[in-house]
Structure 1
């Protein structure tokens, strides 16, 4: 079968090649790949900046944002031929640490977790893949190809959960939220904020293209000048850019007692000590909380699936701005103007 593979830590090694059929030891549920979303992590792996091959192998099958159709459900109950499923990405460490032991593998403390398509386990960019029943999530069949958005939605489902949990440290009734960044993660964060009944605002530098219209179609408010110009102090900020300057601005802009959840990973560079101290002072004097969030556990996958099931299908469809065939996967990794979510499509839905 065909798969998109790479030799991690070596740029220029990604290729579409023939590999053996998936080993049943990787899971009793056999799945035909329909689509795999592409994100910045995939680009970094292809550029040689990141990634680990499975033990004893030189190459890693890419892809962690999956959507597939069950070919053989195996002996475990709960799945049928034709079910649409996605694969949970992270696996708990083998020790396990205390968090992994209770199913909170997204909060792994010793770093020995593995991740499909990223760290020591092959991903989903192959014509067929296997998965353990406990790590396969059914998708609402009415979503169709839009089910490929489930993994990025889990990231912000967790972020919203964490922001609200931290906010409960005091009496707190949030009314509004600011999302920084209008990529797929930011837009999905805005979707959940609207579903929770908040007054949602989204900040992004783009003044044209699909992003402003997508935000307005949600019923949210779009801003493109600066975080300091949004005109209000947000109770919750979900930060999805990873840009140092934007992060610093959010700390100065958030309301007293507000919560900032950082989800973006970037390279904003080091800030001068005085700037760091001033930014910290702003957080201290307003009783703000800043929390980082990455990955998701099964609870967040369930919450994300509910959020997508409730969402307007026409709006979700506008997030997928480009589809590439596996043989053109390199084009999928190159951002083009107007791109939001690009997918590699292996089969028709």
Structure 2
């Protein structure tokens, strides 16, 4: 079968292997036909050789962690042939740590978790894959064209879940939300905020293209200036760019009792001349909270599936700006600077 693979840690090793072995039954009872995989910055970093870990005994890493497929067989009876599913990316560590022991593998404490297409587990960019039923999340049939967005939506669902938990520290009635960055994570974060009836603002540096209209369709306000130029202090901020300057700016802009969730991953290696003392003073005196969030557990994946089910499917479909057949895979993994989400299609 076909698989998109890399030699882990070797830049420029991306290739299509047409003779990749069928998934071994030990990978899981559920056999899935791959429909599509989404492509994100993590994939580009793995292709650049910045990280990625080959599964034990394998000579290459199948990439792809944003999945969508149809069940071919499930002898456990948990799923039925034809069911639409996505595979949960992270699996718990073998120890397990206290969090992995209670199915909170997204909060793994010792770093020994594994991840499909990233760390020691084969990814979903292959014609067929297997997964244990516990890590297969069902989707409604009407999400067949957009279900590949479930993985980024799960990241957003976790972020909102933890925002809610932090907000319960006191009487809290948030009204305004700032989302920094209008990539897939940012737009999905704005979607969930709009579903909650909040006043939503999205900040992005791109003044043209589809992003302003997508934000407007949510009833939200689109901004292209700087965080400092905004004329309000948000109750909730989701930072989805990882740009160091923006990270610092949103921390300084939070309103009283504000919560800032950082979902963007910075590359590091840069320093900024910054008044850390002033930030500390504001965080303390205003009871603000800044926290980071990554990955998701099954509960978050199910919350994400529900959020996608409530959304306008045409709006969700507009997030996917390019669909590329697997045989033309180099095109899919070549950034254009104009895409929101690129999807590599295995079957339709």
- Alignment partner of 1:101: what SS? helix
Unaligned runs of 5+ in 2: none
Q: Is the 8 A contact 1:227 1:253 kept in 2?
A: yes
Q: Is the 8 A contact 1:238 1:260 kept in 2?
A: yes
Unaligned runs of 5+ in 1: none
Deviations 1:94-138 (A, max 9, x none): 000000000100000000000000000000000011111111011
1:192 is displaced (CA, Å) by 0.3
1:189 is displaced (CA, Å) by 0.3
TM-score (norm 2): 0.97
TM-score (norm 1): 0.97
Q: Is the 8 A contact 1:106 1:295 kept in 2?
A: yes
Q: Which runs of 4+ in 1 moved over 2 A?
A: 267-282
- The aligned counterpart of 1:210 is 210
- The aligned counterpart of 2:290 is 290
Deviations 1:215-238 (A, max 9, x none): 001111100001112211100001
- The aligned counterpart of 1:88 is 88
Instruction: Report matched runs for 1:182-193 at 5 Å.
Output: 182-193=182-193
CA distance in 2, matches of 1:133, 1:324: 29
CA distance in 2, matches of 1:9, 1:336: 24
CA distance in 1, matches of 2:274, 2:341: 38
Matching of residue 110 in structure 1 with residue 110 in structure 2: yes
Matching of residue 277 in structure 1 with residue 277 in structure 2: yes
CA distance in 2, matches of 1:253, 1:133: 43
Deviations 1:205-261 (A, max 9, x none): 000001111000111110000111221110000110001110111111110110000
1:78 is displaced (CA, Å) by 2.5
- Alignment partner of 1:261: what SS? strand
CA distance in 2, matches of 1:274, 1:87: 42
- The aligned counterpart of 1:10 is 10
1:158 is displaced (CA, Å) by 0.5
Instruction: Report matched runs for 1:306-321 at 5 Å.
Output: 306-321=306-321
CA distance in 1, matches of 2:296, 2:121: 17
CA distance in 2, matches of 1:286, 1:271: 26
Matching of residue 37 in structure 1 with residue 38 in structure 2: yes
1:270 is displaced (CA, Å) by 4.2
- The aligned counterpart of 2:53 is 52
CA distance in 2, matches of 1:332, 1:283: 42
- Alignment partner of 1:98: what SS? coil
